[in-house]
Amino acid sequence: MLKVYIETYGCQMNVSDTEVVFSILSAHGCERTQDINRADVIMANTCSVRDNAEQRIRGRIEQFNIEKKSRPGTVVGILGCMAERLKDSLTEDGKVDFVAGPDSYRRLPELIESARKGKPAVDVELSRVETYEEIIPVRTDSNGVSAFISIMRGCNNVCSYCVVPYTRGAERSRNAGSIVREACDCFERGYREVTLLGQNVDSYLWEEPDGSRVSFAELVRRVAEVSPLLRVRFSTSNPQDLSDELLDVMSAYPNVCSHIHLPVQSGSNRILEKMRRRYTREWYLDRVRAIREKVPGCGLTTDVIAGFCSETEEDHAQTLSLFEEVGFDTAFMFYYSERPGTLAARRYPDDVPQEVKTRRLEEIISLQCRKSLESYRSDIGKRFTVLVEGPSKKGAGQLCGRASNNKMCVWDDTEHKAGDYVEVRVVDCTSATLLCELV
């Protein structure tokens, strides 16, 4: 049996894809190892979204080569978005033996076999139909409570800064029935939470053979009906497509968690237009208003990019003021990193100096730190139902788990275990954790 080791980088889609890869390979007589020193096949499932993501992986490839030299016969493969972007150029210096893009994982057994015979192998063909729908992933999460389910692949938006449409290809939705079956299977195996994944989940659309259509809101409803004990989360929502119908499903089903990750990217209409995001600041704020009205207490998180092409101090001030106005619970904050081949790279000079990008990013981060603390503080005194994920980082006698709004809770507890639902009351907080007690 070949021992296979995979390191996963990038977004949750990659985590989910790695699980598909393990499933495909285990059907071909391979077994997973978490020990790189014993691996016959070493892989990285990679991300290209920012340059530093790729640089990190370049460093890992060097490390993998040290392993390879110490154990002849070991092969190294690159999967995922960087594989798709850089294709066979990755094999040029002999450090990488095989390359598989996100839609080529069914061919991995062949690619690995070829590489082991000393013949570099590359498959980066993108597909219009591949969704790996019938493949039951080999779950790699450590708690056995929370699972990812990929509901669509690719992306049809062409946000001008973003490499994803090039690395993941055209958007396609997965068969709704197969998603619901996977959710049932997770529940039967003890999972108590599923996260439905896509780059733009609100544009999910499945057409049944009889012509009837399943929207994202309808899909969430069907998954929520698997069991009231199965929590449903989803990511990522795009402001332009976030529907009232979805908000209605969220408010009707208590097991659909009250949390929306709604990347804003910028608070300036001029920049949003240049980014080719298809909404305005006003539209975004209106969606936030609708969320707060229809799903009271809903957690709200976002992504933002500082220093996009031509961004002025005035544009930046608009981002700060939007952050001030909305009060996100947390945010993933980045400075703009030009990606080769994207619309922005072709059309707009990357003209905000690095030190300005860094300073603006720091301003956003420090504002958001304050807002996070405000948001977490506002939960003090509230009661939440929490799904236990396991021992907290502190360990001994303390458990952790998330409230419906996605905030991490910790509390002293020696009675419960992962997968239980418990009632807690918030007594204190940091800017990233609610400190609670059992009620």
* Cβ-based neighbour number of residue 27 at 10 Å: 12
DSSP codes, 220-281: HHHHHTT-TTSEEEEE---TTT--HHHHHHHHH-TTB-SEEE---B-S-HHHHHHTT-S--H
**Closest to 409 (Cα-Cα) out of 376, 381, 436, 391:** 436
Q: Residue 122: is it exposed, middle or buried by C-beta count within 10 angstroms (0-12/13-18/19+)?
A: buried
167 is a site residue for ligand F3S (CB under 6 A):
yes
> What string of H, E and C letters represents the secondary structure of 344-383?
HHHHCCCCCCHHHHHHHHHHHHHHHHHHHHHHHHCCCCCE
Radius of gyration of the chain, Cα coordinates, nearest whole angstrom: 22
- Does position 47 interact with ligand F3S (CB under 6 A)? The reply is yes
Q: Which is nearer to ligand SF4, 102 or 165 (CB)?
A: 165
- Going from the C-alpha of 23 to that of each of 19, 168, 284, the distances in angstroms are 6, 20, 39
Round to whole Å and give the CA distance between 49 and 162. 7
Residue 165 site contact among ligand SAH, ligand SF4, ligand F3S, none (CB < 5 to 8 Å, cut-off depends on kind): ligand SF4
Regarding 242 and contact with ligand F3S (CB under 6 A), the answer is no
**What string marks each residue from 253 to 292 as x (binds ligand SAH by CB under 6 A) or -?**
----------x-x---------------------------
Is residue 39 within 8 A of residue 73, CB to CB? The reply is: no
User: Binding residue for ligand SAH (CB under 6 A) from 153, 339, 357, 360?
Assistant: 339
Pick one of 4, 6, 13, 352: the residue that binds ligand F3S (CB under 6 A): 13
Residue 130: closest CA among 110, 162, 159, 107: 107
Q: Of 117-125, 144-152, 182-190, 329-337, which part binds ligand SAH (CB under 6 A)?
A: 329-337
Of 79, 115, 164, 331, the one binding ligand SAH (CB under 6 A) is 164
What part of residues 95-154 is at the interface with ligand SAH (CB under 6 A)?
Answer: none
Q: Is residue 204 at the binding interface for ligand SAH, with CB under 6 A as the rule?
A: no
Choices 62-70, 134-142, 159-167, 224-232 (CB under 6 A): range interacting with ligand SAH = 159-167
The entry of ligand SF4, ligand SAH, ligand F3S, none near residue 81 (CB within 5 to 8 angstroms by kind) is: ligand F3S
Q: Please select the residue that binds ligand SAH; options are 4, 112, 179, 305, rule is CB under 6 A.
A: 305
> For ligand F3S, which is the closer residue by CB, 164 or 247?
164
Contacting positions for ligand SF4 (CB under 6 A): 155, 157-159, 162, 164-165, 199-200, 238
Rank residues 13 and 96 by Cβ distance to ligand F3S and give the closer one: 13
Bridge partners of 408, per DSSP, are 402, 433
Residue 171 corresponds to which amino acid?
A: E
Between CA 278 and CA 273 the distance in angstroms is 7
Of residues 80 through 99, those in contact with ligand F3S by CB under 6 A are 80-81
**What CA–CA distance (Å, rounded) separates 426 from 242?**
30
Residues near ligand F3S, by CB under 6 A = 10-11, 13-14, 47-49, 80-81, 163-164, 167-168
Footprint on this chain of ligand SAH (rule: CB under 6 A): 49-50, 161-162, 164, 199-200, 236, 238, 263, 265, 303, 305, 334, 336-337, 339
